[in-house]
A and B are shown apart, each in its own frame.
Chain A
């Protein structure tokens, strides 16, 4: 297909609904009216450099959390960990546990938003159902228990984050060298009390999604981005599921970045953040502001990899907690040892929610969680620092270079959505090929394309998500750019 003549018509979907951002999709048709390729155009530009250069490295947490407002906690934690490297300190064990706790809470609440609020209306009500109802409100009407479960899970995660970092929107709670405060006993009790309900909510989502997969989402499994590609994620020192890379690169801590091909062979293993520049390169395309990171050794095509919940579950030997491990086994029975169907990112998210809850439970029992030895103090002891963590959407790298006083000279961030960029384009191409019969636009097709992107839960804007239907503009254009047709819904 890629050898087809120049595209003749272009169908544009703009803006995406229920993706946290503004994006535009074009579908390029060949002369016969078949899909040549589909592209997700990201036109947001975030000038990180301009904000960061010349600033104290201690401010990076606040700056990156503000610029990337979708998952501020991930940036906060990764910026703090990069700061640890510049101070050249090992943070107190209690601080590491507390940072882990916050990261788990963030993954949990972000996955809850993605699955319950943004995706389940489509999954439950169907792609071709009334657009007016295919949103959170329609979900509340159709399955109030599921909607409540999602809202409750988000709240659980957000309250844990607030208990740690305070009520302010972007808490500078994690700082280079550690964290600023622990949990008190009362907070610990409050969170523990919410756990049974939270477990029940995740189980509800899991049962529903698995039933839908068995009953009527078989086609989606094959069409919504099923292809071979490498996967990249962190694993711990014993090869188990990992989400926090704070101690990577510290002697004796093991674990690290793992990369696996979809046939299960290891492409890289046990790397720390400093390997980032050797391991990865970034391609730039004129039609998107979002870069395309790839594995340097394999080149931009074969080296495009996937990150995020599915990657983490694919790469780990096991998760390390009983409930989540049972589900992981089932996932592998369903999709193979290395699951290539991007539609199963949803299932991976649900399994990770279980893993988060189990690990939160474990951490809450740890006496260190209420410790007061939380922060190592030091000056600038290294001129360069890299840290890597798992954000809800995938692996997040921060890399800073500073001068002798700690003023930032250079910054590079590699974010999850960028690493899934190529995969998202492949996914929507696959969907468009399958569902665009003879160039006919339909509400169902548009919604499937959006849903294909939603498998990856991209963080395309700092705007809040839409609880209802957002305006959608569909344009059909000729090869010369002339508008042939336009569909709009408001």
Chain B
């Protein structure tokens, strides 16, 4: 049996000012997976990542990476992880190539090989031509890619990216996604934190949702989506509807004279919606999905956690 890429048990973190950022989280990421840690700002994503990568000390709990215990085999843990942090953290006054070559050196990779690897990864990320420029002269998207090259140079089995596409334009985001998917196909495990829901949905097979320092949900993307029992569509009408028909699995709501919203139970045929509308003499001009499905789920989940605290965890 292979060891999970990452296993976290009962992890807690109280910062020095007394703020409890992690309130006992459990997480398991299988080897080879592309895993999303999703949560709103301030949820505790970066704190979790920081602890796993030795940048933040934990208050209690257990962290293992490919079976190596963070408390007892920290060197092995570090060797297996590559980190792309949320904030730029390279030396702005160092040439691009040196940022990568030096990082390789810290992992004991001889300088000549370090240069070969720097060439490879900077090349793949489209930065080799900029290798002699000071890091500070790169654009935001390039800086992010520089950090990806730096994180890969020691060829870690687990790549962790903390909000890698925050502030990156849409085109670049797409190419970054493709790059990460290729890396994942090569067998590298990837953990990505994000508050872009589309990103998690698009990339990740497994997902955990974190909020207020607690894991709210930890499952496959597929079963998470299946949990969403309804989908909402917005209907633009040709003429005002006066009476709305009722149905068990389709609930209609009036937004204004010419706009309706319909909550449709998952599994229900859309034909039923139109039969229902036809029967009431309502003529639809156009229809669109209200929001991203995951987003809706996400909003619902974080709301329940906020209002009822721990109890929803047991209920779900």
Verify that A and B bind, or say they do not.
no
